[in-house]
Structure 1
Amino acid sequence: MNKGKTRSIGNIAGIVGIGTFISKLTGLVREQVVAAAFGVGAVANAYAYSYVIPGFLLILLGGINGPFHSALVSVLAKRDQKEAAPLIETVTTLVTGILFVVTIILIVYASRFIDLIAPGLDSEVRAIAITQFKIMAPLAIFAGLVGIGFGSLNASDQYWLPSLSPLFSSLTTIIGVGGLLWVLGGQINDPEYLRLGGIVLASTTLLGGIWQWLAQQIALVKSGISRFRFRFEFGREGVKDVMKVMIPATLSSGMLHINVYTDLFFASYLPNAAAAMRYANFVVLTPVGILSNVILVPFLPVFSRLTEPENWGELKLKIRQSLVLTGLTMFPFSAIFVALSQPIVRIIYERGVFRADASSIVAPVLLAYALGMFFYLARDVLVRVFYALGDGNTPFKISIFNIFLNAFLDYVLVRSFEVQGLVFATIGVNVISLIIFIALLHRRLNGLPLLEWAGVFVILVVASVISGFACWGIHQGLTSFWGDESFILQFINLSVASIGAIALFLIFGKLLKLPELELLSNRVLAKIKRSK
């Protein structure tokens, strides 16, 4: 929404980064509580499957950078604020009606959905998963409402609450599961504890989604953006524009998540695979989630304002800027996670019923996920460029192709690498998608400076490999010198090795004289000076 004065990209990135960091940190604590209560056993595995569709809807529809958020921002950013409320209320009415029907279908056919997602489950895990699925089904409605709220708040230049709101969901799970663990302890072999634990985990997930929506509604009403009321003006100007982006974007992102279903289909035949993938993926998604919001949230409205041919020169510059920032942030994390996957899993999860044997299952999966961090986020950056151009069909078509490609790669790679093979398949899909998107943008925008960009990224990859070896060497040296028996020593070893890897990587970036690194450094220094 055009408000005259808008925040700078750096200001938005700072707000989103801090808010998302707090939310992700709380999410990490949530995963630690769940791991301590249930390990990689029946409840954690059942939840990994039962959460697939409700969680998919929450991430797809309700997430920052999701299609609902992206569609509303791309349309509202070009309109006056006075047009916002009727448009938002009409879209909310339409979406709520559709998702109410979806919720009923999910509850009625819960057992069939679980069997479709995970046909290889044993009876105990299956029963827990079905119960959890029914409890979490209403998340479908609140997911759509949360996504609309994200887009509405961001379009009106509000970023704190959208960045912080996932905190509410994590807190409910921490309180519920933490209370269960405190009262009953981790009775991992007690069937009644597992049944009750499954119900508590699912119920707190649903309550978290409701809490997230309520917090948004308060902010929307106070800001005068919109109220939660039904408006059936489906022919209103702007509704068609929103749906034009939202529908193909939702289908496109949905196709992407079908790849998750495919992975879990194969994982259901591997013991403890789903829980291992969940725990490892969350470690990776903590920095990815923080940094993706820092990069994607401020850049999306900028992309949307540069779609006219006379602005393509600046659009190309912003695309390069967002991709280089992605590389500068993702490559050092990949180096650290690959080099130190085992000690990272130990320090994050080893407590309660989560023991060394569980770490040995999760660590190799973390290593595999780490290899694909850049490709995951870079693909998302380019998808947002297409959304900004008003083109949701191209990402959708590529996503359909990716479903078949992912299924093929899963089938081939799981035989040789088991759980890691499922992750390698996802990386392969993201790499091929990235290549296709770049080729299409190269043609659509009358050429991109691909050779120049390639040279930058080759050096960044080399820098990350060298940093990874240095990280591993520093950690090995410190471990040999004073051991890693206590939590304090583990923390010191990890911190020093990680800082060394990041410092070495930034030295390479400095030698490249990247304007993105200079810009980032100047803003960080400016914020430090202002805080003194």
Structure 2
Amino acid sequence: MTNQQKSRTLAGIAGIVAIATLLSKLVALFRQQAIAAAFGTGIAANAYNYAYIIPSFFLILLGGVNGPIHTTIVSILEKRSKQEAAPLVESITTLVSGVLLLVSIALFLSADGLIYLVGPQLSQTAHAIAAEQLRIMSPMILLSGLIGIGFGTLNTANQYWLLSLSPVLSSITIILGLGILYLSVGSQIISPAYVAIGGQVLAWGTLAGALFQWIVQLIVQWRLRLGTLRLRFDFRSPGVQQAVKLMAPAVFASGMLQINLFTDYFFASGIPGAAAAFNYANLIVQTPLGIISNVILLPLFTILSRLADPLEWHNLKSRLRQGLILTALTMLPLGALFAALAMPIVRIVYERGAFQQDDSQLVASILVAYGIGMFVYLGRDVLVRVFYALGDGETPFRVGVLNIFLNVLLDFILIKPFGAPGITLATVGVNTISMLLFLGILHRKLHGLPLRQWSLPILGLIVSGFTAGVSSWGTLWSLQHFFGSQGLVLLLLQTIASGLVGMGVFALLATRMKLPEIDFLVARLTKRGAGSQ
């Protein structure tokens, strides 16, 4: 295959991933709008976020795209024929399923105590609802492993559309459940008598979505002859042993990030509505971040896995720089706009039904903090993928252990002066330190990285992002000063205008830096149609 054909193939993959992920994220955003309109930041929504901590922990950790199971399966199957893949996938599935089934049962039996652990300051009503929701969602632990294996298997078969599109099912089931509940009880859904019922609908809808997501993957996997539900106990085969060796530290390393979420919610349990507010703000951020993350990381990880040989490290370093600069080019302006335009964005997206102005203020304050940390969040992920590509899962694990203690310290320090946004700022601090540590370790591991050369364009893009954010904020302030801010249409137009000004300023400043990654990004956007042929 020529370089031009490879480029077109990668562009085609990126186009498929972008479209499918965009649809997935938009449906997820609509789901969150439905939850916000029904419950606001009230008891049912807040309890659901505490109950969902553990299922989401496993779903992200084990079942997520770019998660440790996904990346491990890709690394192993890329080096094997299709005939070897099916029995290997079945053996790994049998092993993972047996372990996670036991964990699911343990979670069901210990739901009440676990809610006390993660939310010690929840009200009695919120605690009871959260414990019931957690029992309902406990089978998701088993499903998360199966979904992760399916993602990795289908990734090697170039089924990128399904990787990005299947999460839509989880959102659809929740939306349908809330719709049925609303048709049954109408506006009474937020009354105390129906809060518990609403909480159950959220939990059952979430479980049904995960189940359907796995079934869809399994059907495609069967058709491609990449493994069935057959129980296979060939745990001593070289492929399974390699998977365990790579997967175990990777699971623990990625789990460190999710353990930090437990810490965050523990400290925030005394702030009414904080958990729901984190989720609302995070969904706004994850909509563009998830799209860009998949577009950058999915094709990039496959490439990095092929450059793990020391003879290819020159190309590996080049791809690493490309990943970091592309991350800065996309995340810094978006983060600046989220920070500068947080309040109008939240009002436009959520402020209706049970979601009122006080809810908007809380969510907007958290969104500002999320915006500040978007670059280091994705940049850290890019660096972690390099370690996985090199077959090194221990280094991310060690850094992850350090991050747990650092996160506890920063949460404790920042929650008092900043409240709920302080929890998010603590996460930003942890991600920043992690990114610097990973760069330093890779500098030694790869026999030198041109860090000074890389830092100059990144610093230039940071300054450009800050300038863009100030420009957006100034434009919004001016428009609201002269025209006011009442009315959804007016607020939407003002936000769009302010965002365009900010993006224009960033584009003007960034293009003057003459980075090759800018040309690459522009070419991908303008020639995506040709590249997907």
For normalisation by structure 2, the TM-score amounts to 0.97
AA in 2 matched with 1:38: F
Q: Which residue of 2 aligns with 1:375?
A: 376
Q: Residues 176-232 of structure 1, C-alpha deviation per residue, up to 9 Å, x if partnerless?
A: 113223432343652221010000000000000001001101111112222222111
Q: Which residue of 2 aligns with 1:422?
A: 423
Q: Displacement of 1:291 after TM fit?
A: 0.9
Query: Following superposition of structure 1 onto structure 2, how do residues 67-216 of structure 1 map, counting pairs within 5 Å?
Result: 67-187=68-188, 190-216=191-217
Corresponding position: 1:319 with 2:320:
yes
Q: Which residue of 2 aligns with 1:284?
A: 285
Q: Residues 486-525 of structure 1, C-alpha deviation per residue, up to 9 Å, x if partnerless?
A: 2222221111221221222122221111111101211222
Q: Which residue of 2 aligns with 1:247?
A: 248
AA in 2 matched with 1:241: Q
Q: Displacement of 1:7 after TM fit?
A: 7.2
**Larger mean Cα displacement after TM superposition, 218-227 or 322-331:** 218-227
AA in 1 matched with 2:492: F
**Larger mean Cα displacement after TM superposition, 68-77 or 488-497:** 488-497
Q: State the alpha-carbon separation in 1 of the partners of residues 239 and 22 from structure 2.
A: 34
Q: Which residue of 2 aligns with 1:467?
A: 468
**Larger mean Cα displacement after TM superposition, 56-65 or 232-241:** 232-241
Partner of 2:188: helix, strand, or coil? coil
**Larger mean Cα displacement after TM superposition, 86-95 or 236-245:** 236-245
AA in 2 matched with 1:50: A
Q: State the alpha-carbon separation in 2 of the partners of residues 102 and 6 from structure 1.
A: 43
Q: Which residue of 1 aligns with 2:354?
A: 353
- Judge conservation of contact 2:38–2:190 (CA < 8 Å) in 1: no
Q: State the alpha-carbon separation in 2 of the partners of residues 357 and 289 from structure 1.
A: 28
Q: Displacement of 1:6 after TM fit?
A: 10
- Judge conservation of contact 1:186–1:353 (CA < 8 Å) in 2: no
Q: State the alpha-carbon separation in 2 of the partners of residues 516 and 531 from structure 1.
A: 20
AA in 1 matched with 2:194: Y
Q: Residues 67-98 of structure 1, C-alpha deviation per residue, up to 9 Å, x if partnerless?
A: 11010011111222221111111100000100
Partner of 1:232: helix, strand, or coil? coil
Q: State the alpha-carbon separation in 2 of the partners of residues 411 and 478 from structure 1.
A: 39
Q: Which residue of 1 aligns with 2:333?
A: 332
Q: State the alpha-carbon separation in 2 of the partners of residues 5 and 216 from structure 1.
A: 27
AA in 2 matched with 1:265: F
TM-aligned CA distance change 1:307 to 1:128, over 3 Å: same
AA in 1 matched with 2:505: L
Q: Which residue of 1 aligns with 2:48?
A: 47
TM-aligned CA distance change 1:266 to 1:77, over 3 Å: same
TM-aligned CA distance change 1:453 to 1:530, over 3 Å: closer
Q: Displacement of 1:430 after TM fit?
A: 0.6
Q: State the alpha-carbon separation in 2 of the partners of residues 418 and 336 from structure 1.
A: 22
Q: Displacement of 1:340 after TM fit?
A: 0.6
Q: State the alpha-carbon separation in 1 of the partners of residues 74 and 445 from structure 2.
A: 23
AA in 1 matched with 2:263: T
Q: State the alpha-carbon separation in 1 of the partners of residues 373 and 240 from structure 2.
A: 37
AA in 2 matched with 1:400: V
Q: State the alpha-carbon separation in 1 of the partners of residues 526 and 387 from structure 2.
A: 33
Q: Displacement of 1:353 after TM fit?
A: 0.5
Query: Following superposition of structure 1 onto structure 2, how do residues 269-280 of structure 1 map, counting pairs within 5 Å?
Result: 269-280=270-281
Q: Which residue of 1 aligns with 2:16?
A: 15
- Judge conservation of contact 2:85–2:226 (CA < 8 Å) in 1: yes
AA in 1 matched with 2:48: Y
Q: State the alpha-carbon separation in 1 of the partners of residues 30 and 527 from structure 2.
A: 31
- Judge conservation of contact 1:36–1:353 (CA < 8 Å) in 2: yes
Unmatched runs of 5 consecutive residues or more in structure 1: none
TM-aligned CA distance change 1:307 to 1:476, over 3 Å: same
Q: Which residue of 2 aligns with 1:301?
A: 302
**Larger mean Cα displacement after TM superposition, 452-461 or 226-235:** 226-235
Q: State the alpha-carbon separation in 2 of the partners of residues 366 and 140 from structure 1.
A: 29
- Judge conservation of contact 1:409–1:425 (CA < 8 Å) in 2: yes
TM-aligned CA distance change 1:80 to 1:200, over 3 Å: same
- Judge conservation of contact 2:8–2:531 (CA < 8 Å) in 1: no
Q: State the alpha-carbon separation in 2 of the partners of residues 433 and 492 from structure 1.
A: 38
Q: Residues 370-427 of structure 1, C-alpha deviation per residue, up to 9 Å, x if partnerless?
A: 1111111111110110000000011001101111111011111111111111111111
Partner of 1:187: helix, strand, or coil? helix
Q: Displacement of 1:453 after TM fit?
A: 0.7
TM-aligned CA distance change 1:477 to 1:295, over 3 Å: same
TM-aligned CA distance change 1:186 to 1:253, over 3 Å: farther
Q: Which residue of 2 aligns with 1:484?
A: 485
- Judge conservation of contact 1:9–1:299 (CA < 8 Å) in 2: no
Q: State the alpha-carbon separation in 1 of the partners of residues 331 and 312 from structure 2.
A: 28
Partner of 1:8: helix, strand, or coil? helix
Q: State the alpha-carbon separation in 2 of the partners of residues 121 and 452 from structure 1.
A: 50
Q: Displacement of 1:280 after TM fit?
A: 1.0
- Judge conservation of contact 1:90–1:234 (CA < 8 Å) in 2: yes
Identity %: 49
**Larger mean Cα displacement after TM superposition, 233-242 or 389-398:** 233-242
Q: State the alpha-carbon separation in 1 of the partners of residues 209 and 400 from structure 2.
A: 30
- How large is the Cα RMSD of the aligned pairs? 1.7
Partner of 2:512: helix, strand, or coil? helix
AA in 1 matched with 2:297: L
Q: Which residue of 2 aligns with 1:511?
A: 512
TM-aligned CA distance change 1:394 to 1:529, over 3 Å: closer
TM-aligned CA distance change 1:520 to 1:184, over 3 Å: same
Q: State the alpha-carbon separation in 2 of the partners of residues 531 and 398 from structure 1.
A: 38
Q: Which residue of 2 aligns with 1:342?
A: 343
TM-aligned CA distance change 1:6 to 1:363, over 3 Å: closer
Q: State the alpha-carbon separation in 1 of the partners of residues 22 and 170 from structure 2.
A: 15
Q: State the alpha-carbon separation in 2 of the partners of residues 6 and 465 from structure 1.
A: 32
TM-aligned CA distance change 1:7 to 1:166, over 3 Å: farther
Q: Residues 249-302 of structure 1, C-alpha deviation per residue, up to 9 Å, x if partnerless?
A: 111111111100000001111121111111111111111111111111111111
Q: State the alpha-carbon separation in 2 of the partners of residues 255 and 111 from structure 1.
A: 23
- Judge conservation of contact 1:17–1:293 (CA < 8 Å) in 2: yes
Q: Displacement of 1:39 after TM fit?
A: 0.5
Q: State the alpha-carbon separation in 1 of the partners of residues 358 and 196 from structure 2.
A: 24
- Judge conservation of contact 2:15–2:528 (CA < 8 Å) in 1: no
The number of residues matched between the two structures is 529
Q: Displacement of 1:528 after TM fit?
A: 5.4
Q: Residues 289-348 of structure 1, C-alpha deviation per residue, up to 9 Å, x if partnerless?
A: 111111111111111110111111000000000011100110011110111110010000
TM-aligned CA distance change 1:490 to 1:531, over 3 Å: farther
Q: Which residue of 1 aligns with 2:436?
A: 435
Q: Displacement of 1:247 after TM fit?
A: 0.9
Q: Which residue of 2 aligns with 1:411?
A: 412
Q: Which residue of 2 aligns with 1:455?
A: 456
